[in-house]
A = this chain, B = another copy of it.
Amino acid sequence: MDLRKTVADLHAELVRYNLVVWTAGNVSGRVPGEDLFVIKPSGVSYDELTPENMVVCDLDGNLLEGEHSPSSDTAAHAYVYRNMPEVGGVVHTHSTYASAWAARGEAIPCVLTAMADEFGGEIPVGPFALIGDDSIGQGIVETLKGHRSKAVLMQNHGVFSIGKDAKAAVKAAVMCEDVARTVHVARQLGDPLPIAQDDIDRLYDRYQNVYGQRSPR
């Protein structure tokens, strides 16, 4: 029930940072030690989410617990959990600026120290993929496996982000939109200055190892 509450509550962060409208975005979290994850029910508004109406699926995306259907993006979440055992949380949004880069099929270049910190370089583009089978999940995993970035811009679609737990994946979704917007705005009036690869590496290394309180978040 604790993870159900965590996942339900984290949707409020998507709302707070204007990453979602209506019901178009979802958070999931892997149940520690089990081949299960908790995810948003389909078509339920963010105001109505509670620990009780979250649904539980196995790693093939089959509904195990819950009165509602799981999110229509469940297959993509499930594919990520099956193929990236280090991932404990997945988030999907159509946040405006990140989706605009995705509509052009253009990666977001790393021209902000905050991007180097969080993403370790550019935020990459994944393939165009239709919902309905494992195409989206495969596109996410192919793009993010072995990549520093915790977010991928799925072409003509939106963002998927991952993390060690659901909160970390939400943080990546929030930071992805924030840097997508700032780099977009910077580019509107000229070319942002590049950051040397060496400096990107140092920033990424430091942030992953030093930042925050003792228990990493």
Contacts and interface: CB of A to CB of B under 8 A. Distances in A.
B186 A94 contact: no
Interface of A: 17, 21-22, 24, 41-44, 68-69, 72, 94, 96-97, 99-101, 103-106, 111-114, 128, 130-132, 155-158, 171, 174-175, 178, 181-193, 195, 199, 202-203, 206, 210-214, 217
Given A112-B94, A156-B112, A191-B104, A99 B182 contact: yes
Nearest to A183: B103
B42 A212 contact: yes
Given A186-B104, A212-B42, A94 B178 contact: yes
Nearest to A113: B157
Binding site secondary structure of chain A: loop
B114 A94 contact: yes
Contact of A155 (B97, B181, B193): B193
